[in-house]
Amino acid sequence: MADLKVHNSLTRQKEVFVPLIPGRVGMYVCGPTVSGESHLGHARPFITFDVVYRYLMHLGYTVRYVRNITDAGHFEEEGREAEDKISKKAVLEKLQPMELVQKYTNLFHWAMRKFGNLEPSIEPTATGHIVEQIDMIRQILDAGYAYVANGSVYFDVEKYNHDYKEKGQPYGILSGRILEELEDSGRELDNQDEKRNKVDFALWKNAPPEHIMRWSSPWGEGFPGWHIECSAMSTKYLGERFDIHGGGMDLQFPHHECEIAQSTVCNHEMPARYWIHNNMITINGRKMGKSYNNVIKLTELFSGNHPLLEQAYSPMTIRFFILQTHYRSTLDFGNEALKAAEKGLRRLWEAYEVLKRLPAPAGSASDAELDAKVNELLDGMDEFMSDDFNTAKTLANLFELAPVVNGIRDKHVGADALSRETFDRLQRYFKTYLEDIFGLQDEKGGDNQVLEGVLQLLIDLRKDARGKKDYATSDKIRTQLLELGVLLKDEKDGSVSITFT
Ligand code: ZN
């Protein structure tokens, strides 16, 4: 199998993926801030990295996938450290902050399940790791890269940049930003008077009296800055150096840049080797944002209950729509594109269902040319996925294979056109890619799958009973299934066919 190549944001090029420990991968992905309902913008990173996770496992890696929950009540809004949303809203809605956190965490998990995302190996919360964060802040202070001001602790970006520039790791290494330019920009940031430099960021914030979420620390009561949680939790669960750090492109700066600076001071090296960032979603060509009134919550998307939506879109339609574009390209969200995705998914799934039921050909291929073409398309799928997870091109090959399958069904293509080997491979690839790697599911078939499994179990039990000449039991199974409208018929070749009457 071809080497896996990934685009590394840090080096700005595609690189062959080599894990630190052979056979194992540590992957950290920045999770949601649970101060509100997840929206469409959250769908892309978590679906993207779910497929990365699945593909790494498909390649045989043992993966520890860590995705955090930001619940400690400190948030950034477009690079600006905003006021504490959780506490503010909590007063407004007369709820405990943790009640809100729980509610939105549950909603987030519900949406992830709907999308068919696998659960990460560890999902640590910021509030559950205050001790680790305080410990890391203390290390940064001890190393001389932070200072205390009025009960808050700030990271000294200039000193870091000065010292680490010489070591080839200036502040801005990931995002390509230059510190001097950031300092010259006219943007006013909060707590300006406390900071030595306006680019300095908070590691710990002193909590004003009305702030509900607060913890004791060596610097007084307060709460951690946003960036420190990811440094603390990635170090704890993946080590000082790990393989992959992922997230949306909007997190590159300042969040990931700050993570790199913090972790480097504590652990003396760049935390992750490969930085992978997915591009953003636009809506009808516009950036998503409250000011455009185009933020679509996931619940609205699934119900169609939003002025921009012409209909409801199922979670699998959205998943498929996202996978039809390479993760590094922007993705424009609109009704036409979504309806096309809905149709496309149905077409592929129908071909998959047909393929499952086609009888396998006997032996060698009667159409060598077609047989070779099918194999070429299947080889291409592995190559595309190993080329920086190109789900778009992989799906395009599946679309080219669908007419071959339908052709056999409709008898335009001979039942023996493909060799047995190629046919089996085709079946295997449809299943592996659609279900195991892309995580797509038959949405109407959730119950059918269970039913199929239960029926197979009963057929097996009946066979066992007959084997033991326990005809009372085998007849009971057959009769009672018939009463439920399921007819079992014993075929000559020993198999059992099922008919719903
Ligand atoms: Zn993070």
Instruction: Looking at the structure, tell me whether residues 103 and 242 fall in a common domain.
Output: yes
Scanning the structure block, which residue is given the tokens 């996931």? 298
Ligand 1 geometric centre to CA of 202 (Å): 15
Tokens of 16: 């062959």
Q: Are residues 35 and 66 in the same domain?
A: yes
Centre of ligand 1 to C-alpha 436, Å, is 27
pLDDT score of 86: 62
Concatenated DSSP letters of 263-301: HHHHHSS-SEEEEEEE--EEETTEE--GGGT---BHHHH
CATH classification of the domain holding 370: 1.10.730
How close is the Cα of 230 to the center of ligand 1, in Å? 5
Asked whether 59 and 5 are in contact (CB, 8 A), the reply is no
* Opening angle at CA 104, ends 98 and 110, nearest 5: 135
Q: What is the pLDDT of residue 160?
A: 97
In a domain, 1, yes or no: no
The four Cα atoms 143, 149, 150, 151 give a dihedral, to 10 degrees, of: -20
Reported as a pLDDT band with limits 50, 70 and 90, residue 75 is: very low
pLDDT for residue 191 is more than 70:
no
Task: Pick the last residue of a domain from 437, 464, 482.
Answer: 437
Looking at residue 76, its pLDDT comes to 37
What mean pLDDT do residues 315-339 have?
97
In a domain, 423, yes or no: yes
Whether the Cβ atoms of residue 227 and residue 77 lie closer than 8 Å to each other: no
**For 328-339, what is each residue's pLDDT tens digit?**
999 999 999 999
Looking at residue 145, its pLDDT comes to 98
356 and 402 both lie in a single domain: yes
Mean pLDDT of 5-11: 98
Q: Do 399 and 430 form a contact (C-beta atoms < 8 A)?
A: no
The DSSP H or E segment spanning 102 is: helix 97-114
Tell whether the torsion through CA atoms of 9, 10, 13 and 16 is positive or negative.
Answer: negative
Q: Tell me, yes or no, whether 104 lies in a domain.
A: yes
Closest among 251, 305, 430 to 358, alpha carbons compared: 430
Tell me how far the alpha carbon of residue 453 lies from the centroid of ligand 1, in angstroms: 41
Count of structural domains within the chain: 3
Q: How far is the CA of 489 from the centre of ligand 1 (A)?
A: 57
pLDDT digit string (tens) for 386-442? 999 999 999 999 999 999 999 999 999 999 999 999 999 999 999 999 999 999 998
Q: What is the mean pLDDT of the chain?
A: 91
What's CA 471's distance to the chain center, in Å? Answer: 51
Which residue, 278, 310, 336, sits at the end of a domain? 278
CB 287 within 8 A of CB 278: no
For residues 325 and 208, membership in a common domain is answered with: no
pLDDT reported for residue 78: 32
Residue 487 pLDDT class (50, 70, 90 cuts): confident
181-202 as b/e: b if 16+ CB within 10 A: ebeeeeeeeebeebbebbbbbb
From the CA of 257, how far away is ligand 1's center (Å)? 10
* Tokens 């950290």 sit on residue: 28
In the reported structure, the alpha carbon of residue 109 is separated from the centroid of ligand 1 by a whole-number distance in angstroms of 18
* Domain containing residue 454: 446-500
* Mean pLDDT within 191-215: 87
Do 305 and 387 reside in the same domain of the chain?
yes
Do 360 and 313 share a structural domain?
yes
CA of 83 to the centre of ligand 1 (A): 18
Question: From ligand 1's centre to the CA of 267, what distance in Å?
Answer: 17
CA of 232 to the centre of ligand 1 (A): 10
What CA–CA distance (Å, rounded) separates 454 from 451?
Answer: 5
Q: Is pLDDT at 445 greater than 90 in this prediction?
A: no
Q: Tokens 């905003």, residue?
A: 82
Query: What is the per-residue pLDDT across 146-187, written as a single tens digit (0 to 9) for each?
Result: 999 999 999 999 999 999 999 999 999 999 998 888 888 766
Domain assignment present for 80: yes
Is residue 13's pLDDT more than 70?
A: yes
In whole angstroms, give the CA distance from residue 225 to residue 342. 41
Answer yes or no: is pLDDT of 218 > 50.
Answer: yes
Distance 265 CA to ligand 1 centre (A): 17
Q: H/E element holding 244?
A: strand 242-248
Whether 256 contacts 247, CB under 8 Å = yes
Distance (angstroms) between ligand 1 centre and the Cα of 273 equals 16
In this structure, the answer to whether residues 366 and 262 fall within a common structural domain is no
**What span, in angstroms and rounded, lies between the C-alpha atoms of 19 and 256?**
21
68 CA from centroid of ligand 1 (Å): 8
pLDDT-derived band at 290, boundaries 50, 70, 90: confident
The pLDDT assigned to 187 comes to: 61
Distance CA 34, CA 72 (A): 9
- CA 483 / ligand 1 centre spacing (Å): 57
- At position 151, the amino acid (one-letter code) is G
Residue 399 lies in a domain: yes
Query: Which alpha helices (H) appear in 193-334, and where do they start and end?
Result: 226-238, 257-267, 298-303, 315-323
Q: Are residues 336 and 236 in the same domain?
A: no
How many residues in total does the chain contain? Answer: 501
Is residue 287 in some structural domain? no
Contact call for residues 33 and 101 (beta carbons, < 8 A) = no
What pLDDT, on a 0 to 100 scale, did the predictor assign at position 91?
55
6 within domain boundaries: no
User: What are the φ/ψ torsions at residue 247 (nearest 5 degrees)?
Assistant: 165, 180
Whether residue 2 lies inside any domain: the answer is no
Hey, what's the torsion of the CAs at 57, 256, 297, 44, to 10 degrees? -40
172 Rama sector, left if φ>0, alpha if ψ -120 to 50, beta otherwise = left
Same domain, 216 and 121: yes
- Kindly tell me if the per-residue pLDDT of 211 is higher than 80: no
Strands 152-155 and 201-206: antiparallel
Mean pLDDT of 32-36: 90
Q: Are 360 and 240 in the same domain?
A: no
- Bridge partners of 497, per DSSP, are 489
How far is ligand 1, taken at its centre, from the CA of residue 89, in Å? Answer: 23
Cβ atoms within 10 Å, residue 142? 11
Residue 35's pLDDT band (boundaries 50, 70, 90)?
A: confident
CB contact at 8 A, 207 and 222: yes
Residue 192 has pLDDT above 80, yes or no: no
Please identify, among 403, 437, 471, the residue that sits at the C-terminal boundary of a domain: 437
Q: What pLDDT was estimated at residue 90? A: 58
Ligand 1 centre from 93 Cα, in Å?
27
79-137 tens-digit pLDDT: 334 455 566 665 555 557 888 899 999 999 999 999 999 999 999 999 999 999 999 99
Q: How far apart are CA 431 and CA 459, in angstroms?
A: 24
- The 3-state DSSP class for residue 5 equals strand
pLDDT above 90: percentage of residues in the chain: 75
Ligand 1 centroid to residue 272 C-alpha, Å:
12
Pair 377, 359 in one domain: yes
Q: What is the Cα–Cα distance from 29 to 276, expressed in whole angstroms?
A: 9
236 CA from centroid of ligand 1 (Å):
14
pLDDT (tens digit per residue) in 453-465: 788 889 889 989 9
> Which pLDDT score, from 0 to 100, does residue 82 have?
45
* 205 and 240 Cβ atoms separated by less than 8 Å: no
Claim to verify: residue 173 and residue 220 sit in the same structural domain: yes
What CATH number corresponds to the domain at position 104? 3.40.50.620
What is the distance between the alpha carbons of residues 375 and 381, in angstroms, rounded to a whole number?
10
Neighbours of 236 (CB within 10 A): 15
CA–centroid distance, residue 195 to ligand 1 (Å): 23
* CA separation for the pair 75, 193 (Å, rounded): 20
Q: What is the pLDDT of residue 482?
A: 87
